[in-house]
Structure 1
């Protein structure tokens, strides 16, 4: 593992640990209840599961943006991050955001699960951006030139206005390569 990647992962883990605190609430009897620690900051499913794709993407936080990039060594563009996070988990997806949009099975916004893909139109009418849903309000993505893989709030005015749809990649057929729906 290159030294730069090791440093980024260690630094990212340390910073993530400092920036997260478990929610605290008061019970009806006045006792303080602290939720179980979730150091990854990733929303868990109903049975405590998390998406391995999502966990891989989170490990890439801090890696440089690079147009056409699809690895920690080269950097990532948005679809390259999605491509890489799936590939290292044995799932083949297309390489571009538009092709990933056609490939994924549509999911209503209110039915998103951690690991689902979120698609945006950031330049015109075509799908031009993709990220991976983390949980309420959050997604991980490679935002653009001069920036790094990061977490953003998809409820912000900017992202809400550009949201184009969401999709789920089925993991029970990892070598699937054909599009399953028409582009918009």
Structure 2
């Protein structure tokens, strides 16, 4: 028998941080049992629409919608693999699988996994396929100076310039291919900052 399942995003207006934002929480309810989890998304209390349970700013609201979608996917995945799911099991699953990457290559693999899932949804693998090459070039670059990975905090402007020079000199890439590789690096850093 399929369990009853619902997600309710909300904010606690009484817990506002010094920057004026508050955490968007999500109440998971399965068969009447509840668990609450932080979404990792923040908004100003005045930007929260309590009637629609959404954020007024488009960017943050899109992030919230994606979070809810991934949570529903996780629920379906657990139900399919284990046959049973509770609010606490789902919360633990989300917590364990939502650990944010702290290194550059981890972030790349995290983003590649997101692209893989998206490619199945839209039935097109080109972005996912290209990401494999861009990730490999980053691995090759880090290997060239004896590193297996690098902390996101260590990625500086000099790192970017050095990587660009490496692509031109060692990979013999033209401007177009070099630009695509740099866009991948920028994307990973943007995601890191965003999270």
TM-score (norm 2): 0.28
Which of structures 1 and 2 has the larger relative contact order (alpha carbons within 8 angstroms, sep 6+)?
A: 1
- Which structure's residues are more often strand, by fraction? 1
TM-score (norm 1): 0.29
